[in-house]
């Protein structure tokens, strides 16, 4: 009797599993809603404009053609954001390398493809970052399983990242941060799995995820150093 009472106190997650999953489901729905709600009303800041122009493969000459002594109309911005049919992904990479070598090209290439499929509006570009942020949910779940071997802890981590104001803000901004967060989570989880299993396949997966992270944001070199330590 005493042992049974102790187990019930020590394992509230096991005793209330249905309620727990229902709570996590509600939090996930709220997190998804917060990411996509009113995206068309969000301000499109200067960095996001640069993202759209570089993703479109526009050269520095396009920037210089913008008049500096007049108000820039939405039509001018829309024209610069439109992808030229004669340009390619290599133009996007080339413009990023020449105009902003501190930025690695993966995010700009991916968002260019997204724009080709769904259009080049500000809402479309923000929705790409929001969609990428959703992939962080299974990534943080996998990482916490590797760290703690506990579905309860992993579920709570998903709930926290779903409604975290910082993650929601990044998810609504057409910049590489959402993709960088995702690649950090994936590479860290892949590293733990590779250490645990010592299989060539898992080390290969880790190398791929780390490479994607390095091609997403330059500061991934700090993540690489941390992994090495």
pTM: 0.84
Phi and psi dihedrals of 209, rounded to 5?
A: -65, -35
pLDDT tens-digit series, residues 148-172:
999 989 999 999 999 999 999 999 9
Per mean pLDDT, which range of 32-46, 178-192, 212-226 is the poorest?
A: 32-46
Is the confidence at residue 135, as pLDDT, over 70?
Answer: yes
Flag whether pLDDT at 190 surpasses 90: yes
Pairs from 212-215 (Cβ < 8 Å, separation ≥ 24)? 212/106, 212/183, 212/186, 212/187, 213/180, 213/183, 213/184, 213/186, 213/187, 214/104, 215/104, 215/105, 215/106
């Amino acid at each position: 009797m005493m042992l049974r009472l102790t187990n019930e106190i020590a394992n509230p997650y096991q005793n209330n599993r249905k309620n727990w999953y229902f709570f996590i489901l509600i939090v996930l729905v709220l997190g998804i809603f917060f990411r996509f709600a009113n995206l068309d009303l969000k301000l499109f800041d200067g960095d996001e404009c640069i993202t759209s122009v570089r993703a479109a493969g526009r050269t520095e000459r396009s920037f210089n053609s913008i008049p500096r002594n007049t108000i820039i109309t939405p039509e001018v911005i829309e024209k610069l954001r439109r992808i030229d049919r004669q340009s390619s992904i290599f133009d996007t990479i080339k413009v990023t390398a020449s105009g902003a070598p501190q930025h690695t090209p993966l995010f700009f290439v991916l968002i260019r493809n997204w724009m080709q499929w769904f259009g080049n509006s500000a809402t479309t570009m923000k929705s790409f970052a929001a969609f990428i942020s959703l992939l962080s949910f299974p990534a943080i779940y996998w990482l916490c399983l590797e760290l703690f071997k506990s579905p309860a802890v992993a579920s709570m981590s998903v709930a926290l990242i779903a409604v975290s104001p910082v993650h929601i803000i990044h998810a609504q901004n057409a910049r590489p941060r959402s993709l960088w967060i995702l690649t950090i989570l994936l590479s860290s989880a892949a590293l733990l799995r590779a250490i645990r299993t010592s299989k060539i396949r898992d080390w290969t997966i880790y190398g791929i995820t780390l490479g994607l992270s390095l091609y997403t944001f330059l500061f991934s070199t700090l993540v690489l150093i941390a992994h090495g330590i």
